């Protein structure tokens, strides 16, 4: 069966996956760009259109960043990753943060209690708005992915939801050595999670820590 994977998901040393006060101008809230700075210099993120200072690295950060795309047939994301608006949609004008030709190039399942019509954009990205629990959302995503893997794209509460339901096979986390103090905590409600995973860790010259969680048991 295809795998369920998380890639490049960054949390602060105190466990926040996003900052406080998220809005249109500050998608990560008061965290700003700090959680994703490590990725900005990688070739993978440069090719996605992010601006960095280098031509794009091939170091350890890129080695991890580049795992994001290959083999993935669909992404599942939370409504809060898709856009800054909460509650019912005022209109269908908002088409995500990613422009006319989004970086995904696959179907994307957006979990929301407020479904809206399927949104097909350029380059193979189609957003499906689905009101479903993790198990059923995963079934729908797999139907869209063919034999390929499913990426859980975030945000924090979506990853936590799939971890709680024990649906994640591989998870690549990046610990950024900053203390955000407030925002949304990844680890809440996940006591003892380590018993279900083998955990590997490595450092990067940029000072971040890559943690790789591999599920111990197979379903």
Instruction: Give residues in contact with a copy of itself (CB under 8 A).
Output: 13-15, 175, 177-182, 185, 187, 189-194, 199-203, 207, 209, 211
Q: What is the 3-state secondary structure (H, E, C) of the chain?
A: CCCEEEEEEEEECCCEEECCCCECCECCHHHCCCCCHHHHCEHHHHHCCCCCCCCCECCHHHHHHHHHCCCEEEEEEEHHHHCCCCCCCCCCCCCCCCCCCCCCCCEEEEECCCCCCCEECHHHCEEEEECCCHHHHHHHHHHHHCCCEEEEEECHHHHHHHHHCCCCCEEEEEEECCCCCCCEECCCCCCCHHHHEEEEEEECCCCCEEEEEEECCCC
Q: Taking the complex as a whole, how short is the minimal distance between the CB of residue 187 and a copy of itself, in angstroms?
A: 4
Q: Taking the complex as a whole, how short is the minimal distance between the CB of residue 130 and a copy of itself, in angstroms?
A: 29
Q: Taking the complex as a whole, how short is the minimal distance between the CB of residue 161 and a copy of itself, in angstroms?
A: 16
| Residue whose CB is less far from a copy of itself, 79 or 172 | 172
| Residue whose CB is less far from a copy of itself, 54 or 202 | 202
| Residue whose CB is less far from a copy of itself, 14 or 122 | 14
| Residue whose CB is less far from a copy of itself, 122 or 194 | 194
Q: Taking the complex as a whole, how short is the minimal distance between the CB of residue 194 and a copy of itself, in angstroms?
A: 5
């Amino acid at each position: 069966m295809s795998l369920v994977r998380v890639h490049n998901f960054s949390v602060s040393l105190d466990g926040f996956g996003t900052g406080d006060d998220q809005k249109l101008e500050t998608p990560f809230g008061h965290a700003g760009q700090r959680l994703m700075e490590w990725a900005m210099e990688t070739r993978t993120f440069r090719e996605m259109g992010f601006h960095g200072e280098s031509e794009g690295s091939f170091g350890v950060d890129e080695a991890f960043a580049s795992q994001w795309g290959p083999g993935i047939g669909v992404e599942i994301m939370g409504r809060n990753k898709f856009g800054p608006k909460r509650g019912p949609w005022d209109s269908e004008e908002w088409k995500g943060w990613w422009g006319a030709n989004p970086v995904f190039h696959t179907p994307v399942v957006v979990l929301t209690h407020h479904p809206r019509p399927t949104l097909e954009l350029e380059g193979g990205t189609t957003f499906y708005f689905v009101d479903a629990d993790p198990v059923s959302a995963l079934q729908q995503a797999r139907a869209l992915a063919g034999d390929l893997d499913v990426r859980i794209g975030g945000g924090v509460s979506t990853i936590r939801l799939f971890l709680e339901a024990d649906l994640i096979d591989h998870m690549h986390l990046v610990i950024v050595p900053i203390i955000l103090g407030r925002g949304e905590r990844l680890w809440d409600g996940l006591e003892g999670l380590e018993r279900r995973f083998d955990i590997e860790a490595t450092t990067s010259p940029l000072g971040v820590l890559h943690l790789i969680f591999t599920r111990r048991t197979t379903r």
